Structure 1
Amino acid sequence: MSKPRYLTPSRISLLVLVNLYCSSGVPSSAIVPVLSFILSQCFPTPPSAARVPRVVKQHDISTSVRAFEDVLHRHSSSMPGRTLLDAFLKHMWEMNSFDELFNLFDRLGGLLARPSEEELRNDPPGRVYLSPTSPLGTLIRRARVEFVRLPFDDAIRLWSAFIAYRAPTAQWTKRLVGLSSSGVDSVATEMGLEPGDGLYETAYGHLSSEEVADHALSLDDLERLMEFQLDRLQRLGCRVPDDMKDPLREMLESSGTAPRQAHLVKFFDTWKAGDYTSAFDHLHRYFDYAMQARERIHYQYALLHMAILHADFGCFDEAIAAINETIATARENQDIHCLNFSLNWLHHMNKSYPKQMKGAGYMGMLGSEKEGLAFLKAKARETKTYNLLSATLLNEAKLHLLMGDPVTRAFDHLFQSSHLNLKENISNYGSHMLFQSALSSRLGLNYMSNVYCELLLHCYHHSCPVDEHVRAIGRRTFLVVQKGQYTEALSMLNSINTPTHHSIKFHHYIFLCTGLVKLKRAIHWTDWAACEALLSSLQPDSATDPELSFLLSESRIYYFIARGMFSEAFKALEGLSASLKEEGADVMQRVEVLITKAEIFRQAGEAERGFSVALRAASVAFKARLMPCLWSAVGMLANILNSLGEFDAAMRLLHAIIPQSLENFDYFVSGKLYSHLGDSYMGLAGQQDLTTSTGTRLRVLYVSRAETYIDRARECFKKTENVDGECEQLMKKAVMAKLRGDEKLAEEWAQNHNKVWEDGMKRMADNQSQDD
């Protein structure tokens, strides 16, 4: 049986409530709640980030009788001792025949007519007439038109469904005189018909839960439900929840003709699932129906969706062809919003995947990046597309940050975008939180970076896209890894809910983040077998996030350095550097490449060759305020100065940056800085003249300080579970004890060295057995 077009028992009940309101049956104290309820059911409000969204169930669409009871039972009516619910049910049960259903729509028509002066004088106080263009007037006009269009058979089924719909409230009629005796149908009562009679069973014997279910949702309600699903899929970038798939399938199968939005819902669901072929099939079906409905203005949006779909699966040649056709069609149809969005998306793709876009033949449509952002900003202001303007300002802030411009410029555009979000009520909180987290991390404020991620996850997770939610968790994970808390980092990634993994893109992102955490831990543990296995599985493709792709390449280089494979490390570094130069990559990534190059020279025993490289990295990091890179670069310079015998200069450099580095909670970097500082004090101790009392006293003082800083370096390496670093500090302690002539203490430190190494190997073996 096909679903009704518009009228359902719940809408009949809403019309009864409207009639009650207009006939002055609603007290003044209940007018606002009643009108709010009616309008919320007929004209749903758009979602807002300021409030937590309700869980949408079927009764939210069909408005069960329980919903009316919840609203009306708290308000008193004009009848003494009776609530507004009693008055509402009185009107509901006074409709005791099929003829009364027609009378209801006749009375509603009288509410839209312009009354004469005589009728106004005779009307009771508080009588309300509606304008045909008002929200309630629109509801009544459409309901009357749809009722007139109903065939007799469908009208009978609607009346039967209404009887079954109000049946749960039969117990309330016992409180109202004269209603309980009328039964289901007053005409049947007058004829003496009872349940079991042939004529009665013919008319009402088919009432069942299936009858109510068939009329619980109309096609209009189903379209509203599809629109809600589309809003969630497009705004959050998620898939249809598992507990919603079966009800949606049943609703679509029970309806005679499925709304065309259902094809678009299936398109988004299969797209996020990674089903490339089915996504194309559903996209073509949706826009084929749109063409048949004479909605040719949507053609450019079909091309836009196709371009995004191609790009998401790494088909950049097809994506560029589709987006060029989108831009041409949007210009032809004068669709400024689609045109601006297409240009903004093209700019985003060119920035995120420059190598792939260039390989696909894209030569740039908006000129340089600054010119493109200026053009988009001007167009957004001209068309008053404030969400695009806010996103463009945020992209401009990111551009200043990536190019190494003064941080104040990035803050300026960030505040402009934030002010626009507040002024125009734009829900763009997730992007702002992630940007501020990245900005805080570059400034060496990892605590603030973590706070912004927590703020996004705990306060705005209902209104933020799933992509931003997953990225916030990934950023928190890497912040925790810097503290050496690998188990907590992995538990964060494992805590991501299962439906998120149903999207192939998010699953791949989580898989790469998990692999990176395990790879960093394996490098610190010197578990080379695990490193090789992880590196073989962590292979980025063309659609991989550029930031994760860089982290994977960097971790691979550090693996080569840790194993002493300097030729392979240098070759991989040169390839990464050339790739970043070709793409015009982030200044922070270029600085980290310079620091890694200096580290290769240091590990290879030629630290002097890395002096100019480290000095250049420190200079660029200082100008761009990349504080973590600055501390690593200065630590590298201090190590090179130690190798050149400039211990005092190295000591002063390290004392200047270590307090700031400790605030960043990157224990591996802090451990290296403390280790270099201990080397500086040992070098200063070796330069003292032991023939004088001052030289002897200073030597003892410097050695004592060197031991202190070596112990601190050992603690830092122990927190990050870096076996090589911890063992290196123990060897330094043993050598120092031996130089002082304390052979017994030197032997103890050597035994501690062996114990730490054995514990590391045992921990590695236990982890391998757990993985197996």
Structure 2
Amino acid sequence: MNLQITEDLTPHKLGLLFVLHLYSTAQESISSQCLTLLIHLLNNDLLLYNDDNQEPIVFPTLKDLCDTVVQACTGANQESGDVSGLQLALLDLIWKVRTLDDLNEFIDGNIIPLIATNNTIYIDKTIGFKQFEKSSILGSFIHKVTTEFKLLKFNHCLTLFDGFVKYRESTRELYLSMGGTIIDVLQNDYELFGKLIEQSYLGNVDFTTDKGGAGKEITSVSDLSIILNKQIELLESKGISPSELLDNILNSSSIPNLPSYYYINYLESLKKYDYNSSFESLYRYFDYMVSNNSKYFYHFALILKANLHQYYNQHELAMNSIQEAISIARENKDNSTLTYIISWLFNYIKNKPELAQDMANPNQLLEFLIMKTKTVSLSLYSLSFDFKTFQILNHGDGIAAYLNNLTKATYISIYDEFQISSFIRSMEMGVIVWNKIGNNQLSQVYNDIAIEFTNNSNDLISLKIRLNFLRFLQGDVESSYNELQALKQTVATTDYSLFNSIQVRSLIMLIRINLFKGKFIQAKEIVNTLLDNDLQDLELNHEFIQLQIEIEIYLENYNLALKLIEGNIHRSNIYLMIKLNLLKCTIFNKSNNHIKSFSLIIQTIQLSQKCGYTNLLMESLIIYINMLNHLGYYQDIFDIFENIMPALISLNNLHLTSRAYFELANGYFNKYKNKQKTTSFNNVLKFLNKSINGFSRCNDLISVKSGFEFEMEIAEYSQNLELLEHAKENLLRINHLIS
């Protein structure tokens, strides 16, 4: 690539000088349009962006600037006539410049005088145009560009002007269509200049210009640095790789040694899952950076090294790197960096709580984080309360403690005007808290708020993934799975990380779908596929553990299921421990070992109530009722149901409610067998019908089959031939679907 690198001067920067001239001298309507455009440009670091406003244009043209005029002014609700007026005024000025001397005279006579000596922007009535103080944003820009222009060597001036001609060539047709006039005398002048240059032994200067613009592409170190930083942001947030053009520029021999280039390579290698290349790029990045400022960048290097190890599931190495970073920050008494490192650590162990066992005084470290972040960053301060909420939620400290810390995190994040991400993070924590408590409606409200406020496409997809997984956990299996499949198609070719996240969740949902359909072997095959996958999300990991155990229960491998429970019950998470104990009670009940199950289920009910886990409390009570049914205490069943049904229905968990109706039907059947009352028999059929309908809506064919088998038992006991025929027909249909 024929590339010219300047310190700060480019044809586009020259084009912006004409905009500043118009702002300073034009009539009010044009001047206000220029101000709108300048504000838009300053918000984007003076860069122009492509249509989707994602990637900066590396070599902008005057046509790109004219398109930005329309974009900026239309967004500010300006009249279309005024927009066209600004475009025409700008093109008139730029196309009047025919030679390098014209450009030089324009800068000397119209741009340099714009810099004033006062401290404010004002209109000098004696000279009739606005001026800018040198230290202002616009004044500083003018001073920097004009100073560099004046210091250019002659051959570089020619190359720059060549680039300027190419820059404006893109608007030739637009300008002519607006009634402009172009005098094409430049080509003859350039041919003459070319011969003079050759005769002056300056033949090494590339100075060929034509309407096609075959001269050098010009960019600046400052623009490249900004573009690289934008590209890093795009890679980190959206997984968008550098364009082929930018990649060619970065590999050009003309490019200065920019450390951001190595960081982009590091991110690209991570995206491709290339460990060796990512490690090498990271090493080269910090080899360059540390030499400039070793104290600051060594901290940063260790954090990124920990990130790298985390990405490849090397958790022990990640913890070693972050512990070293904490030690160095403490030695240097660098509280700002220390709070950031500790925040990273807690964010890491949030989904890997077993790693906290290797930490010294994690609770003390968390209190230190809360205390220090108050004066360092509102975002980190809010995050520290999110961590505390998550920690006490896992330890089961009760609803008051969860909501107290969640409220603090949310309140602080609302006042963090610079970081909307901290508010979204608090909303995500609210989703987790209300889901654990059992208020699914509020959980969805928090998720909807997070979706409404996020302006990052990757975050939006992540929130939708979480929403569908929560719906799956609440029993809405099929539709949540189908929506995840639709989401997967949107990221299939753009972001491997999000695609993998959706794929893993889809497979876990598929395990549940196969269990419901009686395809236990297929479910186990998916489990075997996922066993080598280090699941990063805590809820996902816990659901996977439960599904492994449930498969063995369905297959009646009770000893293996109990071994799996014992192998995971040590985990430092009360919620998971309760779930595993419930599965253990289910095994005891299925083995007709109800006495062994009795004391454990009572403990589980008490613990669920203490922790405020309403959904687990309801599930515990349903298992307890199943036990009472087998032991014949049907009156106790009715008393319990009378108290819990409003809370159970409010959970909005169709599968759990259907299980409850099934147990209630069993209770009424036991009562009917004992007292032979018609009302009891009607209640049996009523609640069994509700149960079967609920299981059908959940596509749980195994539970539907159990329902019709129970209906057959009822029909045979009551000698109801019509009911018996109905049960047989449906059992035949369900068995056909399962097979």
Q: TM-score range by the shorter chain?
A: 0.7 to 0.9
CA contact 1:481–1:517 (8 Å) conserved in 2: no
CA contact 1:731–1:753 (8 Å) conserved in 2: yes
Q: What do the CA deviations read for 1:393-413 (whole angstroms, capped 9, x no partner)?
A: 122222232222232332232
Q: What do the CA deviations read for 1:564-604 (whole angstroms, capped 9, x no partner)?
A: 111111111111112x2xxx21x221221221111111111
CA contact 1:450–1:479 (8 Å) conserved in 2: no
Match of 2:369 among 368, 376, 383: 376
Query: How far is 1:42 from its partner?
Result: 4.7
Q: In the alignment, which residue of structure 1 is the partner of 2:98?
A: 96
Q: In the alignment, which residue of structure 2 is the partner of 1:112?
A: 115
Q: Distance in 1 between matches of 2:674 and 2:381?
A: 63
Q: How does 1:623-638 map to 2 (within 5 A)?
A: 623-638=610-625
* Structure 1 residue runs without a partner (length 5+): 48-52, 689-695, 762-772
Q: For residue 683 of structure 1, what is the amino acid of its counterpart? A: N
Q: Distance in 1 between matches of 2:389 and 2:186?
A: 68
Q: What do the CA deviations read for 1:599-649 (whole angstroms, capped 9, x no partner)?
A: 111111122321221122111212222111111111111122222221111
**More off after superposition, 399-408 vs 486-495:** 486-495
Q: In the alignment, which residue of structure 2 is the partner of 1:11?
A: 13
Q: In the alignment, which residue of structure 2 is the partner of 1:565?
A: 557
The CA RMSD measured in Å over matched residues stands at 3.7
Q: In the alignment, which residue of structure 1 is the partner of 2:240?
A: 240
Query: How far is 1:301 from its partner?
Result: 0.8
Structure-2 change in CA distance of 1:145 and 1:330 (3 Å): farther
Instruction: Tell me how many residue pairs correspond in the alignment.
Output: 714
Structure-2 change in CA distance of 1:123 and 1:139 (3 Å): same
Q: Distance in 2 between matches of 1:614 and 1:486?
A: 31
Structure-2 change in CA distance of 1:497 and 1:227 (3 Å): farther
Query: How far is 1:379 from its partner?
Result: 0.7
Q: Distance in 2 between matches of 1:431 and 1:439?
A: 12
Q: What do the CA deviations read for 1:176-219 (whole angstroms, capped 9, x no partner)?
A: 99964574389789x9999xxx99x999753355646712x433
Q: What do the CA deviations read for 1:526-571 (whole angstroms, capped 9, x no partner)?
A: 2122123112112055564332222111111111111211111111
Q: For residue 299 of structure 1, what is the amino acid of its counterpart? A: Y
Query: How far is 1:61 from its partner?
Result: 7.0
Matched, 1:207 2:210: yes
Q: What do the CA deviations read for 1:431-464 (whole angstroms, capped 9, x no partner)?
A: 223222222322333344344434544x345337
Q: How does 1:225-236 map to 2 (within 5 A)?
A: 225-234=227-236, 236=237
Matched, 1:643 2:630: yes
Q: In the alignment, which residue of structure 2 is the partner of 1:312?
A: 311
CA contact 1:130–1:137 (8 Å) conserved in 2: yes
Q: In the alignment, which residue of structure 1 is the partner of 2:456?
A: 463
Q: How does 1:517-666 map to 2 (within 5 A)?
A: 517-542=509-534, 544-578=536-570, 580=571, 584-585=572-573, 587-666=574-653
Structure-2 change in CA distance of 1:522 and 1:337 (3 Å): same
Q: In the alignment, which residue of structure 2 is the partner of 1:770?
A: none
Q: Distance in 1 between matches of 2:246 and 2:557?
A: 57
- Helix, strand or coil at the partner of 1:708: helix
Q: What do the CA deviations read for 1:704-743 (whole angstroms, capped 9, x no partner)?
A: 1111111111112222233332222222222222222334
Q: Percent identity?
A: 18
Query: How far is 1:313 from its partner?
Result: 1.6
Matched, 1:419 2:411: yes
- Helix, strand or coil at the partner of 2:127: coil
CA contact 2:3–2:216 (8 Å) conserved in 1: no
Structure-2 change in CA distance of 1:318 and 1:588 (3 Å): closer
Q: How does 1:273-352 map to 2 (within 5 A)?
A: 273-293=272-292, 297-331=296-330, 335-352=334-351
CA contact 1:478–1:489 (8 Å) conserved in 2: no
CA contact 1:7–1:146 (8 Å) conserved in 2: yes
Structure-2 change in CA distance of 1:505 and 1:387 (3 Å): same
Query: How far is 1:284 from its partner?
Result: 1.3
Matched, 1:753 2:735: no
Q: What do the CA deviations read for 1:504-532 (whole angstroms, capped 9, x no partner)?
A: 55444333212211111111222122123
Q: In the alignment, which residue of structure 2 is the partner of 1:479?
A: 471
Q: Distance in 2 between matches of 1:68 and 1:727?
A: 68
Q: Distance in 2 between matches of 1:87 and 1:667?
A: 67
CA contact 1:352–1:546 (8 Å) conserved in 2: yes
Q: Distance in 1 between matches of 2:453 and 2:84?
A: 43
Q: In the alignment, which residue of structure 2 is the partner of 1:363?
A: 359
Q: In the alignment, which residue of structure 1 is the partner of 2:155?
A: 153
Q: Distance in 2 between matches of 1:81 and 1:594?
A: 70
Structure-2 change in CA distance of 1:681 and 1:615 (3 Å): same
Q: For residue 41 of structure 2, what is the amino acid of its counterpart? A: Q
CA contact 1:483–1:667 (8 Å) conserved in 2: yes
Q: Distance in 2 between matches of 1:207 and 1:160?
A: 9
CA contact 2:22–2:30 (8 Å) conserved in 1: no
Structure-2 change in CA distance of 1:221 and 1:631 (3 Å): same
Q: For residue 380 of structure 1, what is the amino acid of its counterpart? A: T
Q: Distance in 2 between matches of 1:632 and 1:686?
A: 27
Q: Distance in 1 between matches of 2:270 and 2:154?
A: 44
Q: Distance in 2 between matches of 1:94 and 1:748?
A: 91
Q: How does 1:185-204 map to 2 (within 5 A)?
A: none
Q: What do the CA deviations read for 1:647-705 (whole angstroms, capped 9, x no partner)?
A: 111112123323432343433222221111011112222332xxxxxxx6xx1111111
CA contact 2:668–2:681 (8 Å) conserved in 1: yes
CA contact 1:306–1:319 (8 Å) conserved in 2: yes
Query: How far is 1:11 from its partner?
Result: 1.0
Q: For residue 210 of structure 2, what is the amino acid of its counterpart? A: L
**More off after superposition, 130-139 vs 678-687:** 678-687
Q: Distance in 1 between matches of 2:87 and 2:610?
A: 71
Q: In the alignment, which residue of structure 2 is the partner of 1:709?
A: 687
Q: In the alignment, which residue of structure 2 is the partner of 1:671?
A: 658
Q: Distance in 2 between matches of 1:177 and 1:682?
A: 91
Q: In the alignment, which residue of structure 2 is the partner of 1:441?
A: 435
CA contact 2:468–2:483 (8 Å) conserved in 1: no
Q: What do the CA deviations read for 1:233-277 (whole angstroms, capped 9, x no partner)?
A: 44x2x4234xx4323213323571153211111212222332211
Query: How far is 1:232 from its partner?
Result: 3.3
Q: Distance in 1 between matches of 2:177 and 2:710?
A: 92
**More off after superposition, 699-708 vs 511-520:** 511-520
Q: For residue 381 of structure 1, what is the amino acid of its counterpart? A: K
Q: In the alignment, which residue of structure 2 is the partner of 1:769?
A: none
Q: For residue 598 of structure 2, what is the amino acid of its counterpart? A: F
CA contact 2:552–2:558 (8 Å) conserved in 1: yes
- Helix, strand or coil at the partner of 1:129: strand
Q: For residue 101 of structure 1, what is the amino acid of its counterpart? A: L
Q: Distance in 2 between matches of 1:340 and 1:515?
A: 37
Q: Structure 1 length normalisation: TM-score? A: 0.83
CA contact 1:486–1:521 (8 Å) conserved in 2: yes
Structure-2 change in CA distance of 1:735 and 1:180 (3 Å): closer
- Helix, strand or coil at the partner of 1:95: coil
